[in-house]
Chains A and B, each alone.
Chain A
Amino acid sequence: MMNTFQFDTASLLLALPEIFLLSAIVVVLLLDLFLTKRFKQVTYYLTQASLLITGVLSYNLIGHPETVIFSNSFVLDDMASVFKVFMMGFSMVAMVYSRHYLTQHSLFRGEYFILVLLSILGMMVMVSGYSLLTLYLGLEILSLSLYTLIAIARKRSGAIEAALKYFVLGAIASGLLLYGMSMIYGISGSLNISDISAFASDANLGARETLIINFGLVFLVIGIAFKLGAVPFHMWVPDVYQGSPTSVTMFISTVPKIAAVAMLVRILVDGLGAMHAYWADLFMVLAVLSIALGSVVALMQTNIKRMLAYSTISHVGFIMLGFVTGVVSGYGAAVFYVFVYILISLAAFGIIILLNKEGFEADQISDFKGLSKHSPWFALMMLAVMLSMAGVPPFIGFYSKFFILQQVISAGFITLAVVAVVFAVISAYYYLQIIKSMYFEDADKDITISAPMDIQLVLSINAILILVVGIFPDFWMKLALSLF
């Protein structure tokens, strides 16, 4: 048999961020093995450097015309590059916050950073995935790293339970996703997104083909909803958020959301956009349930991590609403929402980590009592974060909700918008509760902030960004729109 395959070596340049990150992982992994305890911090700095360089390499690829390489399994377009740049930025911030937490809870190990880097590599593969196969492999690389990151805190009560729950439910979700993919592959005859798109948008598509695509579509939507944590596939979210070490919770709840949305866009928008009428119905139910349950159940929580988990569920509902609209501006609003949500979420978890002390986790809402007297600056920041999550203008959280609702209304779903607004108002209650305990209650225990300067500085910038981006949201919204 003769080999007629031609490999274009120049295409490697387009995957440079991934190739660099993988090489960096190998170097960090090997170096970390030979470092003595005294120099373990080197791993942390190398991780940050690798993320920075990967981000710069991805930034340089912005503006490159859409190219599909590696035999139709890798796509480089603006969405991929911009998503990668944001992922690197958010991950770097998350790592700054994590270091403090890890040292205090004696979890500082080289493997932690290597697994984070590997999960980011998986996310990059997902963001650039242009075939069902690579999308799935990226998802598995991401998930396997995350399961391990949770379980790394073996001695922590609940961590193993959280890891196991996440693993079992994640495996079921992957299985459902694979099953859906196999249906789509079976009927369209291709794993490639553009081939699937061409097949699904064929005007002469028979009833048989439509039926089988829809059958697969249901599984795909369920798999994606599992990964996003939308109701009724949300059961793992609160337990995993509460049981994981706070730094891992912060990471799980932020950066992988970009990858999940990217996978959603690649499969459902790019691939099965012609089937929008079918999956939008499913999304509508998922979105309404998520917003409703997330808002109501969060009211009863006393653990702030658990509360933020339910708040994430309701945010996911809003993100899905953007995809219900079926227009480019709606997708743009959803992507904008994701970035805003991550920015706010990072700040919220950053403040929780800031209040941590050795052997003590500030994960109860009551731990925030009287924060304004001890540290007015960080109380002010938490105020901005909470108001932003609740969607109060002029904070950024208002605009992200506003853009989504605007698109939902202009797409003609008035009832949907009303329901979303009602539950958003209900959810404001529990965000305000934290503000109340910070400003109007006295501390029942001693609050001292012992965190190093770097985390305080980054946290301040993060919180200021919430306000600044809130004053000029148009630029970012335009950026989000330009991705589609």
Chain B
Amino acid sequence: MLENYLPIMVFIFLGIAFGVGPMLIGYLLGPNKPDKEKNSQFECGFPPFDDSRMYFNVRYYLVAILFILFDLEVAFVFPWAVVQSDLGWFGFISMSIFLFLLVVGFIFEWKNGALEWE
């Protein structure tokens, strides 16, 4: 059963090689002569005023939560799509009810302006 995953493993190794390889080559072959001026901030700019990690707006939170909910919905649709032709009408109706309830939620979302940006 594990042999099914061989292409994935090849893929992972190729991906790592492609990502790390060029950086490694550049690091090994490129000239590297740092000095004090080169390492100082921005050469002619200011020292930074504060932390570069700024706080995110709270509004992202709602977007992220709604994203999770619909992500979960999609997780339910995947297996359904695989066996849809075997399930027949019963499977179609059960998925329709499922999606209908989420569409109701979507209408609620839309009407309440959760999809809008202030």
Contacts and interface: CB of A to CB of B under 8 A. Distances in A.
Interface string A1-40: 1110101000000000000000000100110011000000
Interface string B91-108: 000000000010010011
- By size class, the interface of chain A is 10 to 19
Contacts of B87: 3
A33 B90 contact: no
B108 A33 contact: yes
For chain B, give the interface size range. Answer: 10 to 19
B38 interface: no
Interface of A: 1-3, 5, 7, 26, 29-30, 33-34
Contacts of A34: 111
B115 to A, nearest CB: 14
Interface string B68-99: 00000000000000010011101000000000
A29 B104 contact: yes
Smallest CB-CB A-B distances: 3 pairs: A33-B111, A3-B86, A26-B104
A33 B111 CA distance: 7
B41 interface: no
A30 B106 CA distance: 11
Contacts of A30: 104, 107-108
A7 B104 CA distance: 26
A2 B85 CA distance: 10
Contacts of A3: 86-88, 90
A18 to B, nearest CB: 13
B112 A26 contact: no
A26 B101 contact: yes
8 contacts: A1-B83, A3-B86, A3-B90, A26-B104, A30-B107, A30-B108, A33-B107, A33-B108
B86 A2 contact: yes
B73 to A, nearest CB: 16
A112 to B, nearest CB: 14
B86 A5 contact: no
